[in-house]
């Protein structure tokens, strides 16, 4: 008899297992070959990318065959500008290489920039002879890079050849170059140097990297013009061009390498402009022959005062006036304005920053429109004969009177009376009125709350409040009152009609409650309530639509705590929110009953399944007994 059973095809289990093993080995070998091929392709691609990256970076690094404009960091202190003293045939480690504000190589960086597969472990400058040197990159594979799992050497070395020249015995490098002059070239001789640029998009730099300026100790990086004693035949000094700037060009000074720093000066039309490098579109000072001078920042006059005799004053910076300011025409200030006494403007007033009126009198009087784009603070009265628009907070210590519309984009605070003859709009903050509010026309819009601490509140038109409204006495409006935010009432409120709210929150903190007890037997009580559908008798006041709810008298027999009378004692109302708790308790009761029924059903199903399994076994036993009986009968017949 065979030890191994054959399947229906005549193949043994051992043969099947051997065939499966051979297939697995072939598949694994194929996968490994593909993996090594992919690693090799990625390694070749990265090597080509690395060589291309370095070769593209360094032709733009150094200059022509004269003074080396690259800045070297030898001391590893993070400050470029170290001298290179190196004898022929020797090497020295360097920490970084820079040129015209560009970082060309640093230890610790990762190359190429796209994959970062290699770490720059070291940079070495090697002086081969009097005319040749090279920069050596010592690289190691970055194990955290995406392509780190590649075949090939983990460490490699890249070389950048340079043309160098040296200053004799001190072995001081005075020239280094690749083959490009894209960043310019410095021609050097015994009397000085001239820098010239082939690329119009590059800037000429006087001095070493990060050492240019009048305070550079060695060598002194200065740019000096010494005039000759030239005069006209009449003894008047002649005008000489010390530095000529062609049209559409800029003379610039300051730290150009820092973003948005550096100051530029240039001519444009009949104007001279001063601006920072990062804000050239809006110069901070512009002086023109026809248009005059515009200053777009703070203006401080230490003594002598400021007098404008004609044409008005257009100031785009901050303004600080320690006395009165009186303008008989249009007033426009684009910066912050602080006035320590009265401000009186007989015409239009536009202040594109905040306005503060303080001091002894502290009144603000504007004969026409007043527009303040940020904060308004007035120490006493504010009287505006036309519209008043405030871009941020408006704070009035005493009374505020606006003969037309008042628009405040943030908080409005008036400690005296507030009178508006043509509407009030507060769009971004709270309207806090400590001595009454009177609006004689138009809609009053308050988008973030209203607080009135007086009984004198009168609105001739509609009131719209988007935030919290706090009124310490009666508020009466003939029109609509719309609250898009919160409305707080410390007494009963009556609304004839629908109350539209975006959401409601009911106080429920445990710290506000006592005698807390669980609710039980709610299901029977809820089942005794009869939901109904109905129409209001006063459909003109309460609406035409069919309603759904309960009869208050029926609810009172079950839950008297949830039924209240109105203030006149002639109608009942139901606290529908209070019904939520017994309804939830009823739902829980039903849930547990249903869960119990489900459990009993599952137990019955398990018992039925067990009985079916026993029946199945009994049937099998009966079949076996029948077979045995047949065998016995057959045996008996043979005997």
Both 478 and 600 in one domain: the answer is no
Residue 627 lies in a domain: yes
The Cα–Cα gap between 558 and 118 comes to: 82
Tokens describing residue 599? 């459990």
Residue 512 lies in a domain: no
Residue 256 lies in a domain: no
C-alpha distance from residue 204 to each of 99, 100, 185, 191, 503 (Å): 12, 9, 10, 19, 66
Both 443 and 550 in one domain: the answer is no
DSSP strands (E only) in 405-446? 406-408, 412-414, 418-420, 424-426, 431-433, 437-439, 444-446
Tokens describing residue 120? 């720059």
Burial 558-588 (b: 16+ CB within 10 A, else e): bbeebbeeeeeeeeeebeeeebeebeebbee
What integer pLDDT is reported at residue 270 of this predicted model? Answer: 82
Residue 178 lies in a domain: yes
Both 563 and 457 in one domain: the answer is no
* Helix (H) / strand (E) containing 25: helix 13-57
What integer pLDDT is reported at residue 296 of this predicted model? Answer: 77
Residue 210 lies in a domain: no
Both 532 and 622 in one domain: the answer is yes
Both 58 and 142 in one domain: the answer is yes
The Cα–Cα gap between 409 and 374 comes to: 9
CA dihedral of 251, 255, 256, 258, whole degrees rounded to 10: -150
Both 356 and 423 in one domain: the answer is yes
For residue 61, what are the contacts with CB-CB under 8 A and spacing of at least 6? 70, 97, 99, 102, 104, 178, 183
Tokens describing residue 304? 């002598």
What integer pLDDT is reported at residue 562 of this predicted model? Answer: 92
Both 330 and 468 in one domain: the answer is yes
The CATH number given to whatever domain includes residue 569 is: 1.10.10
Both 486 and 616 in one domain: the answer is no
Query: How many distinct structural domains can be found in the chain?
Result: 3
How many Cα atoms sit within 13 Å of 355 on the Cβ side?
Answer: 33
Please, are residues 47 and 167 in contact by the beta-carbon 8 Å criterion?
no
Residue 20 lies in a domain: no
What integer pLDDT is reported at residue 587 of this predicted model? Answer: 92
For 42, the 3-state DSSP assignment is helix
Backbone angles phi, psi at 573, to 5 degrees: -130, 155
Both 89 and 145 in one domain: the answer is yes
Backbone angles phi, psi at 378, to 5 degrees: -125, 125
pTM, rounded to two decimals: 0.31
What integer pLDDT is reported at residue 196 of this predicted model? Answer: 45
Please, are residues 555 and 576 in contact by the beta-carbon 8 Å criterion?
no
What integer pLDDT is reported at residue 185 of this predicted model? Answer: 42
Both 524 and 486 in one domain: the answer is no
Domain boundary pick from 189, 211, 231: 189
Q: Give the CA radius of gyration of the chain.
A: 46
Both 522 and 488 in one domain: the answer is no
How many Cα atoms sit within 13 Å of 504 on the Cβ side?
Answer: 6
Domain boundary pick from 157, 173, 189: 189
Partners of 141 in the beta sheet? 118
Tokens describing residue 409? 């984009």
Domain boundary pick from 159, 189, 219: 189
Tell how strand 547-549 and strand 476-477 pair up: unpaired
| Backbone angle region of 436, left / alpha / beta, with phi > 0 → left and psi within -120 to 50 → alpha | left
For residue 443, what are the contacts with CB-CB under 8 A and spacing of at least 6? 423, 461, 462, 463, 464, 479
What integer pLDDT is reported at residue 397 of this predicted model? Answer: 67
Both 327 and 474 in one domain: the answer is yes
What integer pLDDT is reported at residue 479 of this predicted model? Answer: 54
179: containing domain = 41-189
For residue 449, what are the contacts with CB-CB under 8 A and spacing of at least 6? 429, 430, 431, 465, 466, 467, 468, 469, 470, 485, 486
| Backbone angle region of 25, left / alpha / beta, with phi > 0 → left and psi within -120 to 50 → alpha | alpha
Please, are residues 176 and 66 in contact by the beta-carbon 8 Å criterion?
no
Residue 233 lies in a domain: no
Tokens describing residue 219? 């060598």
Q: What is the mean pLDDT of each run of 10 residues along the chain (639 residues)?
A: 46 58 58 52 52 53 43 77 84 81 77 71 89 84 61 69 71 64 40 44 47 45 47 46 62 53 75 77 82 76 59 60 57 59 60 59 63 68 70 69 68 69 64 64 58 56 61 57 62 65 79 89 90 89 88 94 86 91 91 90 90 89 87 75
Residue 208 lies in a domain: no
The Cα–Cα gap between 188 and 622 comes to: 117
The Cα–Cα gap between 421 and 442 comes to: 9
């Amino acid at each position: 008899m065979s030890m191994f059973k054959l399947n229906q095809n005549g193949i043994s289990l051992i043969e099947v297992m051997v065939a499966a093993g051979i297939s697995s080995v072939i598949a694994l070998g194929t996968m490994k070959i593909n993996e090594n091929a992919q690693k090799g392709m990625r390694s070749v691609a990265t090597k080509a990318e690395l060589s291309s990256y370095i070769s593209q970076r360094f032709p733009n690094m150094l200059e022509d065959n004269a003074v080396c404009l690259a800045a070297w960091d030898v001391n590893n202190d993070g400050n470029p500008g170290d001298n290179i003293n190196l004898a022929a045939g020797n090497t020295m480690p360097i920490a970084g290489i820079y040129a015209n504000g560009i970082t060309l190589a640093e230890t610790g960086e990762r190359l190429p920039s796209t994959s970062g597969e290699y770490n720059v472990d070291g940079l070495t400058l090697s002086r081969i002879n009097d005319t040749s040197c090279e920069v050596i990159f010592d690289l190691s594979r970055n194990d955290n890079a995406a392509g780190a799992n590649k075949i090939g050497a983990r460490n490699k070395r890249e070389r950048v050849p340079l043309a160098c020249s040296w200053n004799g015995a001190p072995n001081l490098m005075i020239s280094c170059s690749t083959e490009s002059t894209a960043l310019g070239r410095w021609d050097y001789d015994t009397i000085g140097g001239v820098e010239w640029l082939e690329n119009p998009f590059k800037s000429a730099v006087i001095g070493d990297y990060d050492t240019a300026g009048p305070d550079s100790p060695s060598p002194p990086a200065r740019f000096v013009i010494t005039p000759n004693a030239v005069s006209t035949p009449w003894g008047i000094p002649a005008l000489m061009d010390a530095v000529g700037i062609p049209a559409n060009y800029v003379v610039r000074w300051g730290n150009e390498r820092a973003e948005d720093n550096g100051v530029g000066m240039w001519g444009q039309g009949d104007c001279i402009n001063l601006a920072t490098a990062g804000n050239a579109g809006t110069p901070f000072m512009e002086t023109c022959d026809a248009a005059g001078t515009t200053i777009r920042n703070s203006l401080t006059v230490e003594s002598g005062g400021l007098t404008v005799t004609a044409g008005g004053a257009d100031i785009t910076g901050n303004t600080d006036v320690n006395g009165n300011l009186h303008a008989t025409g249009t007033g426009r200030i684009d910066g912050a304005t602080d006035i320590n006494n009265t401000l009186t403007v007989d015409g239009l007033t536009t202040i594109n920053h905040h306005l503060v009126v303080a001091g002894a009198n502290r009144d603000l009087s504007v004969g026409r429109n007043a527009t303040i784009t940020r904060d308004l603070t007035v120490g006493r009265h504010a009287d505006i004969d036309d519209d008043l628009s405030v871009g941020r907070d408006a704070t009035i210590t005493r009374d505020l009177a606006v003969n037309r519309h008042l628009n405040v984009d943030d908080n409005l605070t008036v400690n005296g009376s507030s009178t508006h003859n043509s509407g009030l709009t507060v769009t971004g903050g709270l309207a806090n009125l400590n001595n009454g509010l009177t609006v004689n026309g138009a809609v009053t819009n308050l988008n973030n709350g209203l607080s009135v601490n007086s009984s004198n509140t009168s609105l001739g038109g509609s009131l719209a409040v988007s935030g919290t409204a706090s009124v310490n006495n009666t508020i009466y409006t003939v029109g609509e009152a719309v609250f898009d935010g919160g409305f707080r009432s410390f007494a009963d409120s009556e609304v004839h009609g629908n109350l539209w709210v975006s959401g409601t929150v009911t106080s429920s903190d445990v710290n506000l409650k006592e005698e807390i007890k669980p609710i039980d037997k709610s299901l029977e009580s809820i089942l005794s309530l009869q939901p109904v559908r109905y129409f209001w008798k006063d459909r003109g006041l309460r609406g035409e639509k069919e309603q759904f709810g309960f009869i208050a008298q029926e609810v009172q027999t079950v839950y008297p705590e949830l039924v209240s009378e109105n203030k006149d004692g002639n109608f009942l109302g139901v606290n529908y929110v209070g019904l939520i708790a017994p309804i939830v308790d009823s739902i829980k009761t039903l849930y547990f009953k249903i869960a119990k029924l489900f459990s009993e059903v599952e137990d019955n199903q398990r018992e039925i399944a067990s009985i079916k399994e026993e029946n199945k076994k009994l049937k099998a036993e009966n079949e076996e007994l029948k077979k045995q009986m047949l065998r016995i009968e057959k045996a008996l017949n043979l005997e």
